[in-house]
Amino acid sequence: MLDAAIRLVGLLDTPHDINALAPLTLREILYRLLVGPNGVIIRNMVLADSRLNQIARAILWIRTHFREPCRIENAAEIAGMSRSNFYLHFKAVTTLSPIEFRTHLRLQEARRLMVSEAADAASAGFQVGYESHSQFSRDYARIFGMSPARHARRLRQEQGSLTAAN
């Protein structure tokens, strides 16, 4: 596969060959992907009604609505699955439960708000959907290993050090 990828990139040196050879090289790369060790996963991804596709729809919905209260039933409905079936397949794909996945999205966005926009921990927590500052702080410390304010200070300092070094 690496050889095919190198040949594909090499076509940039001979633009007049691209139309004739690029489709063949791309076809070879796709073939090697499909018959390789992860071929089953790739084939399942393109099947419209595959479990992976159903979970992907739910993940997209959760990413769009992570600030809102998220009921598993809503995401399961989006995926077209029962709640228990959805939970099992979601965890198999993401290694997280749907609620844990939403929590990670919320905490990553809160971290971004605190570092990039200098939001304080309480307002960042509320902006990403937490109703309780103490719950936000507990979840944040569990995932990132320190309080939100302390972590944000450290990340801003590191970011400042990197900017000063460049």
Q: Give, for all 166 residues of the chain, the pLDDT tens digit.
A: 889 999 999 999 999 999 999 999 999 998 998 899 888 877 766 665 578 889 999 999 999 999 988 788 899 999 999 999 999 999 998 999 999 999 999 999 999 999 999 999 999 999 999 999 999 999 999 999 999 999 999 988 888 777 677 6
Shared domain check, 29 and 52: no
- Note the pLDDT of residue 161: 74
- In the chain, how many domains are there? 3
Structure tokens at 150: 């302390």
Instruction: Let me know if 126 is exposed, middle or buried by CB neighbors in 10 A (0-12, 13-18, 19+).
Output: middle
What domain range includes position 13? Answer: 2-38
Shared domain check, 121 and 90: no
Give the whole-angstrom CA distance, residue 129 versus residue 105.
Answer: 11
* Residues 6+ positions from 106 with CB-CB distance below 8 Å: 66, 67, 128, 129, 130, 139
- Note the pLDDT of residue 46: 66
Cα 150 to chain centroid distance, Å, stands at: 25
Shared domain check, 161 and 116: yes
- Note the pLDDT of residue 162: 72
Structure tokens at 119: 């939001």
Shared domain check, 113 and 161: yes
Contact 119, 128 (CB under 8 A): no
CATH number reported for the structural domain that contains residue 126 in this entry: 1.10.10.60
* Count of beta carbons in the 10 Å neighbourhood of residue 76: 21
Residue that is written with structure tokens 């979601």 in the block:
90
Contact 152, 144 (CB under 8 A): no
- Note the pLDDT of residue 49: 58
